[in-house]
Structure 1
């Protein structure tokens, strides 16, 4: 199939499938979906997944009206009206073949924006977030929790690993898109895949060979983790209604689970085919990881949290007692800023769901019991635990001994203090060359100015080009003053079209009947509509000038302000116009400034075309400017607003 790669490992049908979403895809800037495109896309999904019962020829007018009324609701459930789309690229296979597709991003009921659908080779795959909001849209298959853990590492589901049948769902045919959940938590889909065989026709799975489902996406991969603000992925719900016939399905799954052979040490004996496959799938890594115990994973997370707090305190000694943090802290902020960067290894086993706590909420509650921090359940669209305070004087933090952290990426650029910092390899803005150009378009009343130069008055011109066009007109009309060549005599066109009396000085200029050449050019420019272009110059592709956009050239705005008393923070926005992705920049600033960063939608910006704002703890103007310079931003394109200085 086109969306993954296969490598033969022996003469049997076993294959290692290298999944593209194990790697972070490069997602282009998001753009709002037009209403017509959203309806068309949603209708195609409804048709492909056969989600609507076709009306009989004998259907009454009332039944047709009810069906028509249900369609917009179904469309919005599958693809909300706040949906955005973007192209993505990634690589897969041993040859790192380039693959591209489209992601559809949106949010349900005010939640965070997430990837809801991904389109690959004209085929739409729902993400787990879509499955968690739309029960029953796919056939649901089941397997053991230990197999699901392997699927979430990139393995495919082998036929002997199927639970809960026969019979299996009727729609689980070869080529059909299906969902997979564990028998232990059967109502919550965790994996999306495509049937390799007619699962619905299986009479028995015992002793069967081969792949049943190729996995495409799962809870825990890079698609699940992606978010425009940089927050980590959302943990699965504990239970969902609508996916199961609770009585029948639960009894069947429980009965099949009891038939498993429990082996010494609490493991489960797999069919040989399943065991071979999951072992072979692990060959995607150069070395097979040694399995960690739950206690070891617990210890790794606990130590990482202490390391994160120790580092926060030591990096911001003058910002006590909060040491540069703005409370309350969300679960995702704690995970991405205080835990993940300090985990002792890059092992894929180090996931919060593999700890004894299972969720961030329970992990933070356990630290609350240790009195390291104080938490509170905050109610909104869903209950989330936030951190209200941290005891940085706790002995575990004070006496913490830092350990050596794994090398996550090769250092590629210099930071604000001259040290090397890590740079996201998918951040294409680093090292880019930009060309910003101001353009002007004359209004109709100025059209006669262009006749002597034989130029199109409806075209776009630079200021220098308009200066020359104006000079040609002056010379052609013989308007240069005989007594002072720096002055231009006014004729009826200049008097009426340029000096139209809107400015206070116009009356004096009109009374004098002359004006300096420089003042005339400036007034001609002011009477034109302003446009701009920003071009990304590439050495490998022609310099194609983009379509001019209305308005003056944008600028990146850096704002220094005081928050929570005497704490200074540095904010910046206006990055998108310069092809800069906010999250990789925030990641680099976090390392360069040794302080916390965040990315959020700027207050007042449209949800359909959000302007993202990066915030860095502390007065970090110089560090921010250096990072922007690396991304091709000229100092003239930056505005600095120092609110701290004004208050002093």
Structure 2
């Protein structure tokens, strides 16, 4: 269901009454969860968001997001936990076990077939048709897929473990997983060791091609194909990313695998403090410019420090010893003498000065594992293909009034030409008809055809010749404006009229609240859903899409607050200018604030 990118409609903070209702619904749907578990999943004070999305097939789905990770999704009034939740509570659902190679097929949208199910010593999980269930891999209890049972357990056994077993809805490595922090599954050993031993010694999996609903013949269940030595190659254990993503493990100088989190003896609070200091120094050294000062502290955190955070980690000041950004910056000012913070406006603090010569800042070296700021539209995991803007060429269409002028060039009404082609045709026409002025070669004599096509009625008796530039400009102005759009890998498309720029408007809604509206993204090959997801993560504001009034197959993007600078920077600097190397603000983007164009 989430194998392809989905479209975000809205993202709002859940209310207190809805929070209590959600906790009750989770308790009813999953009675194995204790009261403490429910309080951890639906905390009273921490921010919990409701995100409404449309899957690629148009299915409306509601996500519940905690700490930027989706924890549940609701489909047709039924709640399903995500893999992030199941990794914390692996016994939450009845679970079927399969082989690691099958996961790649499941992530691609296939369902789990019964011949691919590994039957442990405890037998097949007891489920009824339509029950929510999970799928894990041999040697690791951490679930990697969520779905519904295709048939009951009794029917599975009666069929000899043939046919479909689980209708898969969500998997590890799909777009719903990518909407979160993209962590890998933890290693959770099986509780029943006897079942584990029996699985290792007596049962060997069938090939992945025969375990999913990909249209091929299914082999007999639990067929013995390899020895226990081959089984070792299929184990997930500590090699999830190597088996599924073909990535090499990180090694230290002696060639041994290392895990910084496992070897770090510091407390989580101390680790968060160290991460804050690292991102702070990285931002001052590589991101902040003197021309940007004074710089709002909130902008510094959102646009500079966040982009310096290492991959796979997040800055959460609430988990640090400082608890608030203001206290952390005060410490940097008081104890380290790195910055000066002042309250330029009531309740709004700004960084007014940075000590660039501070020894601590000068000696800081930027870590190699720090991720760069994701400034392209593929941020958020919704798109993995780099954006390539279309090539737009202005064209001019031959009108019925100008058809006699282009008759010799065999260009009839409706033909489209580039400006250079129009100039060449007019030049050839003038030379063939010997219309160049006898004494001044910069002028062209007007014959009846040029008179009818280019002159106004008031000029018939007055104008006898025109300059070359005037002749060409009059011709172009009387032609139909068109343009050609060429997307990479697609045939060119010719459209009438001039290119409509991306329109960014700041409007006022009820209670004098500002919203930013973006239109016409599709004309330049930008997916509004991807842009909405990118902006939502960047500015941490509610963002949704709606149909553009009066325009078919177009949507407009609306985001809370005056975000015109963020939208402009995303579209101009990091998409258009970086890709084609030009400052194309005048061509591609139009800013509106109320009725004033900026």
Q: Report the TM range for the smaller structure's normalisation.
A: 0.3 to 0.5
Question: What TM-score comes out, normalization by structure 2 length?
Answer: 0.47
Question: What TM-score comes out, normalization by structure 1 length?
Answer: 0.44
